[in-house]
Amino acid sequence: MKTFLTAFAMFGFLICFRLMPAAAQEGQKIEEGKIILEKWITAQGGRDRLQSIRDVKFSATVKVIPIGIAGTSITYQKRPNKQRTEIKLTRMTVIQCSNGETGWISNLTGSFQDMPKEAHEQFKKAALASDMLLNPVKYGITPSFEGLKSVEGKDYIVLKLSSSDDRSTDHYIDPDTYLEYKSVTISPNGEEETFLSDYREIEGTRVPFSTKIHQGGKEFMTFSVTEYKYNTNLEDSIFEKPKDVVRRRPQVPTKPYPYREEEVIYENKTAGINLAATLTIPNGKGPFPAVVLITGSGRQDRDESVIDIDHKPFLVLADYLTRKGIIVLRTDDRGVGTSEGDFDAATAADFATDAEAGLAFLKNRPQVDSRKIGLLGHSTGGMVAPMAAAHNPSAAFVVMMAGVGLPGGELIVEQARILAEARGMSREEVEKMAATNHEMLAIIKREKNKAALEMELRKKLSGMVSEQLIKQADSPFFRHLIEYDPATALRKVRCPVLAINGDKDVQVPCRQNLQAIRAALEAGGNRNFEIMELPGLNHLFQNAKTGLPTEYGDIQETMSPVALEKIASWILKQPQF
């Protein structure tokens, strides 16, 4: 009966409302909105009680529906605008945090990086939600009554909260309780609905213990609160980004070196850019065999530094090879460090021309045996090396360290599958993720318009990947990668090839890629190759327990002596080409 009377009174109000002039209607909507907002605040516990709450800590179970991932979360909030959320999944913890001024997030290697500006603004608003509700004028928020809307046979009061940046959210208020039933926000991902239920009394307030988020009309994520506490005296320190700790890795060499080192610059005439590098030369007359090192994906300096965890794989590798009598050229990627060029506009084919420029540079060095100059690539660099060798027959050998053999699109799906399995996800969860990845790749291949692609990916992947990754999907490198089959170049390589990988590599899965490399070389008629699977080693060729990227920083070793020795001995035994 109460719902009927409330709806009847609202119906009478609406008849009078429609007879008002537009300006008066707008003013009336705002005045009614203020009244409804105050009733909503009262239903939650009252203004005085809500303002007295300074610190909040709550725990919940979390489930991402499209891919079936489940875990737990802990959220800390400190008024007015500090928030920290930790989501724990199998063998992985994701942390997002804001101290009100800056934000930071955890990454795959277990270290921390600054939160992108746009993401931080949205995260801060979540932390400010309670304060914004109590002080709408302070935050430029205008409440307005938008009438009644029926959901599953029941009428709800619609309270619109509009901000000064032209964003708004419709809050559906239950007329019986004046508690929120759901909110509707129009975002770049389309319409997002948040359903709230299972309200419980916590120290004089009413708190929803169940939250369901729908995107595009489909259930996307659920939260079920397991514990809720107020005024827990949270320390400010938990909202601060952990300070970077420089760790001294035992394999990183220290000067003076027992060999010569030169800082050099050489030209990639094809691209019209200069590349900056370090050349290390064994002591003695020579001539010596020489190798060009090619980094993996992402912006890499000449040491292939994993800055967050203080490992420098190419510095350690160059030091070892040079001590064994091999000249090494290691280079900053184009557009990185002091190298010229545009990294963001480059594809793997462009990086192959950088590698060829390294070959040309070494040919003109008097200490180099010009008939023994080769290429060594790590990860996607291991895909670039055969591309350069196939185009440049002067390459005397190719070393592929965790090199890519599978077609790019297939690699991405397989990489995600192996990572998910390593984290303990169920077969059903893994299959859902694989289906999502296949769909994502199909979208990227089909949609060539950048804006349209980003919008479609946001709808499909929102909450599963960062905005930064969505934007990277349209990069020249990624588009080239998902369309490229490394077998194309491998079949044309005529020089000796060494392909090695660790059996705990979860980024470039070992067996599948080594098998693909072997098949491509054999199909091209190359019989001078060696394929080797190294037990216990991860993608960085460290001795590892799980192979997961989160483990990289916990391992003191930068590169296994077994891998180092294999590479050096193989290069040294190669005949003149």
The mean per-residue pLDDT over the stretch 184-199 comes to: 81
The secondary element (H helix, E strand) that includes residue 344 is none
Q: Which residues of 68-91 are buried (b: 16+ CB within 10 A; e: fewer)?
A: ebebebbbbbbebbbbbbbbebee
Q: What is the pLDDT of residue 254?
A: 92
- Beta strands 398-401 and 497-502 are parallel
Are residues 529 and 510 in contact, defined by beta-carbon separation less than 8 angstroms?
A: no
CA 232 to CA 58: how far, in whole Å? 10
CA 88 to CA 504: how far, in whole Å? 23
Are residues 358 and 266 in contact, defined by beta-carbon separation less than 8 angstroms?
A: yes
Q: Which residues, 6+ apart, have CB-to-CB distance to 126 below 8 Å? A: 83
Q: What is the pLDDT of residue 220?
A: 82
Q: What is the pLDDT of residue 303?
A: 96
Distances (CA, A) of 383 to 203, 333, 365, 568: 60, 15, 26, 20
Dihedral sign from CA coordinates of 216, 220, 226, 227: negative
Higher pLDDT, 236 or 524: 524
| Domains assigned to the chain | 28-239 (2.50.20.10), 259-407+485-572 (3.40.50.1820), 409-479 (no CATH)
CA 185 to CA 190: how far, in whole Å? 8
Higher pLDDT, 466 or 292: 292
Q: What is the pLDDT of residue 6?
A: 38
Higher pLDDT, 437 or 398: 398
pTM for the full model?
Answer: 0.73
CA 575 to CA 90: how far, in whole Å? 49
CA 22 to CA 24: how far, in whole Å? 5
Collapse the DSSP code of 172 into the 3-class scheme (helix H, G, I; strand E, B; otherwise coil) and give the result: strand
CA 221 to CA 64: how far, in whole Å? 5
Q: Does residue 364 have a pLDDT over 60?
A: yes
113 — pLDDT class (breaks 50, 70, 90): confident
pLDDT averaged over every residue in the chain: 87
Q: Does residue 428 have a pLDDT over 70?
A: yes
Q: How many CA atoms lie within 13 A of 392 on its CB side?
A: 25
The mean per-residue pLDDT over the stretch 342-361 comes to: 96
64 — pLDDT class (breaks 50, 70, 90): confident
Q: Does residue 235 have a pLDDT over 60?
A: yes
